[in-house]
Amino acid sequence: MADNTLQLMVHGKNIANIEPELSYPGVAINRVHRLDNPNYLFIDLLLSETTVPGKFDIVFKGSGQTLISYPYEILKRDAGSAERQGFSPADVIYLVTPDRYANGNPDNDSVPSLKEKPNRRNKDGRHGGDIQGIIDHLDYIAEMGFTQVWLNPVLENDQKKYSYHGYSTTDYYNIDARFGNNVLYKKLSDQAKKKGIGIIKDIILNHIGSEHWWMMDLPSSDWINNKGKFERSSHVHEVVNDPYITESQKNAFTDGWFVRTMPDLNQRNPFLATYLIQCSIWWIEFADLSGFRVDTYPYMDKEFLSIWSGRIHDEYPNFNFVGEEWPVVTNIPATAYWQAGSKTHDNYKSSTPSMMDFPFQTALINALKGKESWNSGIGDIYRVIATDFVYGDPYNLVVFAGNHDMQRIYSQLNDDMDLYKMAMSIVLTTRGIPQIYYGTEIILKSTGDHGELRKDFPGGWQGDRANAFTGKSLAKDKSDAQIFLKTLLNWRKNSLPIAKGRLIHYPPKDGVYVYFRSHGDELVMVLVNNNSNPVSVDLKRFYEVLDKRKKARSVVSSLDYDLREKISIKEKTAIILDVIF
Ligand code: CA
């Protein structure tokens, strides 16, 4: 590793009174730390260039006698691990809620040692979906054209209830037994890789679950913010960079707990910070990951985020990870602030390569549902993208129409198939890395709260009437949407202008937005008619980009177009064209 130190957390009754020893070539105990709880010991190991993989015992001695002997292992590193490539604009990310996707192993639905038992009739309960269910359907995911899978968190969440979503970690080093185990998670990653799919791990460093074992015996009195007692976060994201705000109001946001069942971690504690950094690196290595999605990004300590992202970047310069900043209103500078390379007013340094583009998502919905006028409609999208100058790397933002925390995109767009196809066409061709929530391909709807947004994927359970994996008994509009998306995704996989090309766009005119993706001689042209009536578009305005090109072919319909003629576009339609010389 770039960093040759390793810190071990040891937990046991009065362990602080015992002295650790070890004997292994290339591994030395550099220092031992004791905090204010005698039940914890932190051992700093120093590794060397010559350290070889292998097993050794850490021996704990008292009064000259061995009291405990703990076996530890240094694992072999995979060749090329440090140079691993993260997800990129060439990819499309499929976001899956594991409990709700497919139940590949009904035997693990109920685990004696874990508190919450399955109940498929409860929308907030555990439905039995698991990692095996995803492995079983990797062929479907690959054939659809997805090249990355982001799973909502799968670490142990041993909460009494409402734990299926995975955002209440109770063990940072173990996959929840109702989803599988660490070995199965690694298998998912290996099998996915063989099909050209990378795995993105959803990580939560801001908080833990209230049933985390730390909560029964905190390593130190400052481990959890607000002295370990619940105090709700103000949830006012804007305070982070508000020029008029007081320190207490900043702290009320970052040190408050997200909710009562999610104790807020104090990342200013250096031992906790190291724990979170090492745990992140360990999972990249162990599960051969291609990315992270970082939950509740701005809720964490800023300086910690700077250090954490720097450490990940130092170890894996080509790895990609994306932070979640979801401000209440479209706040482009607040999103850009966290992205590596963005200019910041206070010289804050981030090494986080990507952010979720929530401002784009808001603009997309507003644009397609809005009336065309000088200050509403499709111009909303143009105006958001025209503000990309604030980002370190706008091409590396993750763009999406919907996710696990918002109403299903089809419902957001009033169950309108034309608007749905426009949204998907734009998300898959604009700058950035698209992410699509599972079930979007079969236009799942939602009308209620969180449990309702994360409905079971049809075909994932024995006895399901319809099966979206095979197409059996799938309604026609659902299978039409699925074929539409599959066509676009598989075209996108092989399009260099989309993977590597720059974006060129024109301010919308009369409700029509036109943009290009350009790479070398290759060109993709997208025409979006947001009017409620058909239009005929004269392309003369675009000859400066089209150059001498005269022909184009529609990606979806395969129709040929003569670019010297006007192009007719139906109402509420996007046309994607491969432009040909
Ligand atoms: Ca199961």
Between the CA of 183 and the centroid of ligand 1 the distance, in Å, is 16
Give yes or no for residue 94 having a pLDDT over 80. Answer: yes
Between the CA of 366 and the centroid of ligand 1 the distance, in Å, is 39
Catalytic-role residue among 295, 301, 315, 388: 295
Give yes or no for residue 189 having a pLDDT over 80. Answer: yes
The per-residue pLDDT for range 38-56, each reduced to its tens digit, is 999 999 999 998 899 999 9
The per-residue pLDDT for range 435-478, each reduced to its tens digit, is 999 999 999 999 888 888 999 999 999 999 999 999 999 999 99
74 within 8 A of 53, measured Cβ to Cβ: yes
Is the pLDDT higher at 356 or at 49? 356
Among the listed residues 452, 407, 459, the one whose alpha carbon sits nearest the alpha carbon of residue 124: 452
Task: Count each helix (H run) and each strand (E run) in the chain, helices first.
Answer: 15, 24
306 within 8 A of 215, measured Cβ to Cβ: no
Supply the pLDDT for residue 49.
86
- In the chain, what percentage of residues exceed pLDDT 90? 97
Between the CA of 203 and the centroid of ligand 1 the distance, in Å, is 22
pLDDT averaged over every residue in the chain: 97
The per-residue pLDDT for range 524-534, each reduced to its tens digit, is 999 999 999 99
Between the CA of 226 and the centroid of ligand 1 the distance, in Å, is 37
Between the CA of 129 and the centroid of ligand 1 the distance, in Å, is 5
Between the CA of 466 and the centroid of ligand 1 the distance, in Å, is 19
Residue 262 burial (CB count, 10 A): 22
Supply the pLDDT for residue 74.
94
Q: With cut-offs at 50, 70 and 90, classify the pLDDT of residue 328.
A: confident
Mean pLDDT to the nearest integer, 231-240 = 96
User: CA 476, CA 474: separation in Å to the nearest integer?
Assistant: 6
Ligand 1 (ion): residues with CB under 5 Å are 103, 105, 108-109, 128, 130
The per-residue pLDDT for range 540-563, each reduced to its tens digit, is 999 999 999 999 999 999 999 999
Burial 532-567 (b: 16+ CB within 10 A, else e): eeebebebeebeebbeebeebeebbeeeebebeeeb
Mean pLDDT to the nearest integer, 307-314 = 98
Q: With cut-offs at 50, 70 and 90, classify the pLDDT of residue 327.
A: confident
Which stretches of 311-449 are assigned E, i.e. beta strand? Answer: 320-323, 354-355, 398-400, 433-437
Residue 504 burial (CB count, 10 A): 15
- Give the C-alpha distances (Å, rounded to integers) separating 79 from 76, 125, 219, 285, 289: 9, 41, 36, 11, 14
Supply the pLDDT for residue 535.
98
Catalytic-role residue among 99, 136, 176, 324: 324
At 566, list the tokens.
């006007």
C-alpha triplet 422, 426, 427: angle, nearest 5°: 115
Between the CA of 130 and the centroid of ligand 1 the distance, in Å, is 5
Active-site residue 295, yes or no?
yes
The per-residue pLDDT for range 370-407, each reduced to its tens digit, is 999 999 999 999 999 999 999 999 999 999 999 999 99
Give yes or no for residue 132 having a pLDDT over 90. Answer: yes
Supply the pLDDT for residue 523.
98
Q: With cut-offs at 50, 70 and 90, classify the pLDDT of residue 106.
A: very high
Burial 466-481 (b: 16+ CB within 10 A, else e): eebbeeeebeeebeeb
Give yes or no for residue 175 having a pLDDT over 80. Answer: yes
pTM over 0.85? The answer is yes
Supply the pLDDT for residue 449.
83
Between the CA of 106 and the centroid of ligand 1 the distance, in Å, is 4
Q: With cut-offs at 50, 70 and 90, classify the pLDDT of residue 23.
A: very high
Report CA 300 to chain centroid distance, whole Å: 17
Give yes or no for residue 8 having a pLDDT over 90. Answer: yes
The per-residue pLDDT for range 404-441, each reduced to its tens digit, is 999 999 999 999 999 999 999 999 999 999 999 999 99
Supply the pLDDT for residue 270.
98
End-to-end CA distance of the chain: 49
Q: Which helix or strand (DSSP H or E) is residue 448 part of?
A: none
Strands 93-96 and 433-437: parallel
DSSP string, 487-534: HHHHHHHT-HHHHHPEEEE---BTTEEEEEEEETTEEEEEEEE-SSS-
Collapsed DSSP state (helix, strand, coil) of residue 422: helix
Report CA 536 to chain centroid distance, whole Å: 40
Please state which of the ranges 17-21, 61-65, 237-241, 340-344 shows the lowest mean pLDDT.
61-65
Q: Name residue 467's amino acid.
A: N
Active-site residue 124, yes or no?
no
508 within 8 A of 382, measured Cβ to Cβ: yes
